[in-house]
Structure 1
Amino acid sequence: MQSKELIYRSLSEEIKRCFDFFPVITLTGPRQSGKTTICRELYPDLPYVNLEEIDTLNRIKEDPQSFFTNHPNGAIIDEAHHYPEIFSYIQVNVDEDIYQGKMDRKFIVTGSSNFALLEKVTQSMAGRTAVLTLLPLSQKELQQAGKKTDTDRLILNGGYPAVWKNETAREIIYRNYFTTYIERDVRSIINIKDLMPFQTFMRLCAGRIGTEFNASALSVAVGVSVPTINNWLSVLAASYTVYLLSPYHANIGKRLTKTPKLYFYDTGLATFLLGIENEEQLKTHPLRGELFENMVVNEMMKEGLNKGKEEHLYFYRDKTQREIDVIRMKALDLEAYEIKSGKSYNGDYYKQLKFFKDLLGDQVKRTAVIYDGETNNRDLINGLYNYRDFSLYDNKTL
C-alpha cells in the first residue's frame, strides 16, 4: 500500500501489468527519481539488494550463483549497472525457471546509467524483461498529491521527490545532486582529472536549453576539443541529465535543419545551474520561455513513459527559420505542437502550424498550441490547451 507521505507514481500500474508477462522488470531513470521507492512500495516482500554497497557487490561477484540460490522468490536488485554481468546470471536462472515451469520468481533490476544498463539488457535479456523508465515527478503526479503547482514553482523545483518533500532545501539538494551524483557518474564513465571545465560545460548547456546543440561553439567557450564536447554530452545523456530532440526529416522538398535541440530531463537542475534561486528571479529571466518549453516537452515524455511507451518526438525547422516546437510521430501520422509560455492567446501562434498542415495535408492529424493561459479549445486541428490540461492521449486522438 502506498505510504501517506509518498507521492503515487503513474508508472506503478505499468510495472504491475508487465509482471504478468515478464519474469524481470528493468527500471531505468535518473538517480533519485524514485526508482527504489516505487519498487519497494509495490513489492515489499521481495528482498532488496543495493549494488552500490561495496560489501554486497563484492559478495555477489565472488559467488553470483549462490545469490540466486538464496533468493528463490526473486529480488529487487538496485543500481545493477555497477555489475552488468549480473544480467547473464539472471538470464540463466530465468530460463531454468521457465524450463521447470516455475513462474513465481520475479526480479526487478534498476539502474541510473542508461548506456551501461541497456547494453547488457539488449545482449542478455531480450524477450525476458520489460524495460521501463521512471523520470522525475510529473506535474500531474504533483497535482494529484495536492502540491501547489503554479508554473514558476514547477519550473524552479523540477520533479525530484526530495525537493518537493522539503522545498526550502531546494538549492542544497540540487547542489548535492550536482556534486555527488553527476560528478561521480562522470568520473566512473570517463577519466576527468579537472572537473572545472566539465562544470562550465554543464552550465553552458543549461544556458542553451531549447536551442540547437552546437558542439563547435561549446568547444570554443569551454576550451576543449569538439570530440571531448560530444563525449561529455554522451555522459550527460547516459546519466539521464540531458537529451537531444532530433529534427523532423521528410521528403517534402524543403531544406531542413539537421542539428538536434538540447533539453534537460529536469528543469530544477537547469535553473540551479543557471543560478536562479527563487520564483521572482525566474519570472524575469531571459530563458524563462525556454525553460517552460523544456518543462512541457518533459511532460510529454513522462506521459508516454509512464504508460510504458516511448514517444517519438521531434521538432521542425527549415532554412527559412520556420519552426514548430514539437512534432509527434504515430506510425505514419503526425501531430504538431507550439509551446508558448505566456498566459495570453494570440492568433499568430497558429501560423507555423497552419503552414505545416498545408505542407503535409492529411498526414497531420492534430495541431495545437500549448500555453499557460486559462482558455482551452479541444479541437483536433488548431486546438488550444493550458499545459496542465493537455494530454497526448486525449480521447479524441486515441
Structure 2
Amino acid sequence: MIPRRIASELTHLIDSYPAVALLGPRQVGKTTLAHEIGETRPSIYLDLESDADRAKLTEPELYLAGHEDKLVILDEVHRLPGLFQNLRGLIDRGRRAGHRTGRFLLLGSASIELLKQSGESLAGRISYLELGPINGLEVPREDLNRLWLRGGFPDSFLAASARVSQRWRQDFVRTYLERDIPQLGPRIPAETLRRFWTMLAHHQSGLLNGAELARSLGVDGKTVASYLDLLVDLLLVRRLEPWHANAGKRLVKSPRVYVRDSGITHTLLGLETLEDVLGHPIAGASWEGFAIETLIAAVPPGTQANFYRTAAGAEIDLVLTLPGRRPWAIEIKRSLTPKVERGFHHACEDIAPERRIVIYPGVEPYPLRDGIDVMPLDHAARALSGG
C-alpha cells in the first residue's frame, strides 16, 4: 500500500460536508482510498456497476434513509445520474435530524456529467476533491525514475516487471477507448481517439495547434476541440493555460497540452524501458510533464497554474500563484548540470516572482546567481506544500 497524501484532506472534507465527490480516472485508487476511510467509521459501500447494488437503489430514498447514521460510499455514481436529486432530499432531511456532515462519499471516473449533475442538484451541499495518479511526493526518491517510466497508476507502478507494467497500460488505454468512453456518452471511433491521444503524446508540452491536429486527423477544428475537452474532462490530459496578467507584453495565447500520466505517454509512444525513454526525443518533455503533475499535486488549494511565454522568447515552464502570494517561477530541466537561458531571466523580470526555482533530476539543492535555487523535484514539491 502506498499512502496517498490527500487522505487527510478527504477525511477533513467528509467531516465538514454532507457529501464529497472524489474524482479521478479509472484504476487510480479511488475505491481503495474510500475503503480505507470507510474502515475508520460506520459505513456501507455500493458499487453502481454491480447489478445487485443497483437493485438496492430501486427505491433510493427508502434504502438510504435506513443508513443515515453511516457514511454511504457510492462508486461509479455517474451510472445513476437520477440519484443526485434523491441525495439532496436525504441530505436536507438529515440536517434537520442533526446529521449535518459525513453522509455520502461519491466516487466518479468522469468529471463531465458528474460535476454538472451534482452541481445542479447538490449546490452548497457537496465538496470536490481530485485523486490523481501516484506522484513524486508519494514514493521514495530512489523510485522516482520507475514512477516516471511507468506512471502513477498503482497497478502499473507496482507491476512485477516493466513488460507487465507496459501490458497493463496498453490494456488501460484500450479499455478506456473501447468501453469506458462510449459508456459515458460520446460516440467517437476508438481508433480516431487513439490517434489523437498519441498525437498529443508526441507533442507533449507543446503549444496546442488545433489546425495542425485537425489536418492530421482529417476532421475540423471544432471536432479536435471536442476531443481535447473530453480527455481534459476525463482527467487524462492537462491543458495548461498561459499567464495573462501582464498586459504590456505580447503573450502567447495558446495553451500547452500534456498527457497527464507519464506512463501512459510512454505507452502511447511504444516506449517500454527507461533506456527507450532516455533515447527518445520526448524524454525532456515527458520529464517536464511528470514534474508539473507532482508540483501541482503539492500546492495548496486555490493555487493557479500557468506557463509564461512572450512573442520575444521570454519563457517560464510553470508559474504557480499560491493564494495571497506572488507567483513562483519554475523551470524544469532533465540535465544534471542545468543551464538557465536568457529567456527565463527576462520572463522573471516581467512577473517579479517570489521564488525562482530550477527543477533537475539530481539529489542535492544548490543556489545559482540571481536568486535562483536548483532543487530536486521532491524538495521543490515540499517547499510548495509548506512541508
Q: Which residue of 2 aligns with 1:337?
A: 330
Distance 1:74 1:359 in 2: 50
The answer on 1:302 being equivalent to 2:297 is yes
User: Cα distance, 1:99 vs. partner?
Assistant: 1.2
1:386 equivalent among 372, 376, 386: 376
User: Cα distance, 1:247 vs. partner?
Assistant: 0.5
Q: Deviations over 1:242-275 (max 9, x none)?
A: 0200000123411111100001221101100011
2:143 equivalent among 138, 144, 149: 149
Is the CA contact 1:301–1:310 (under 8 Å) kept in the aligned structure 2? no
1:85 equivalent among 82, 86, 92: 82
Give the stretch that moved more between structures: 112-121 or 69-78: 69-78
Distance 2:47 2:367 in 1: 46
* Structure 1 residues 228 and 55, CA gap change in structure 2 (3 angstroms): farther
Task: Write the letter of the residue equivalent to 2:344.
Answer: L
Distance 2:45 2:294 in 1: 30
Residues 112-131 of structure 1: matches in 2 within 5 Å?
112-131=109-128
Task: Write the letter of the residue equivalent to 2:267.
Answer: F
Is the CA contact 2:313–2:343 (under 8 Å) kept in the aligned structure 1? no
Is the CA contact 2:246–2:350 (under 8 Å) kept in the aligned structure 1? no
Is the CA contact 1:353–1:367 (under 8 Å) kept in the aligned structure 2? no
1:327 equivalent among 315, 319, 333: 319
Q: Which residue of 2 aligns with 1:161?
A: 154
Provide TM-score, normalisation by structure 2: 0.92
Structure 1 spans left out of the alignment, 5+ residues: 1-5
| SS at 1:142 equivalent | coil
Percent same amino acid at aligned positions? 26
Task: Write the letter of the residue equivalent to 1:295.
Answer: F
* Structure 1 residues 143 and 135, CA gap change in structure 2 (3 angstroms): same
Q: Which residue of 1 aligns with 2:349?
A: 358
Is the CA contact 1:157–1:167 (under 8 Å) kept in the aligned structure 2? no
Q: Which residue of 2 aligns with 1:98?
A: 95
Distance 1:263 1:394 in 2: 21
Is the CA contact 1:156–1:268 (under 8 Å) kept in the aligned structure 2? yes
Is the CA contact 1:157–1:170 (under 8 Å) kept in the aligned structure 2? yes
| SS at 1:262 equivalent | strand
Task: Write the letter of the residue equivalent to 1:231.
Answer: S
Is the CA contact 2:177–2:194 (under 8 Å) kept in the aligned structure 1? no
Is the CA contact 1:276–1:282 (under 8 Å) kept in the aligned structure 2? yes
Q: Deviations over 1:278-308 (max 9, x none)?
A: 111111110100000000100012213xx6x
Q: Deviations over 1:112-153 (max 9, x none)?
A: 111111112321222222211110111221228xxx4142x2
Q: Deviations over 1:309-362 (max 9, x none)?
A: 25311001111222110111234622111110111133xx1633321232234x
Give the stretch that moved more between structures: 328-337 or 227-236: 328-337
Is the CA contact 2:38–2:71 (under 8 Å) kept in the aligned structure 1? no
Residues 209-224 of structure 1: matches in 2 within 5 Å?
209-224=204-219
Distance 1:357 1:171 in 2: 40
Distance 1:282 1:192 in 2: 33
Is the CA contact 1:185–1:239 (under 8 Å) kept in the aligned structure 2? no
Distance 1:391 1:171 in 2: 27
Q: Which residue of 1 aligns with 2:366?
A: 377
Provide TM-score, normalisation by structure 1: 0.89
Q: Deviations over 1:6-49 (max 9, x none)?
A: 11111111111122211222100111110000010121241110
User: Cα distance, 1:377 vs. partner?
Assistant: 3.1
Distance 1:105 1:393 in 2: 32
Q: Deviations over 1:163-220 (max 9, x none)?
A: 1221421111111111113432321345536322221111111101100111110111
1:278 equivalent among 268, 273, 279: 273
Residues 5-20 of structure 1: matches in 2 within 5 Å?
6-20=1-15
User: Cα distance, 1:85 vs. partner?
Assistant: 2.4
Task: Write the letter of the residue equivalent to 2:135.
Answer: S
Q: Deviations over 1:48-98 (max 9, x none)?
A: 1011224433552x3221231232323100011112222221121111111
* Structure 1 residues 174 and 224, CA gap change in structure 2 (3 angstroms): same
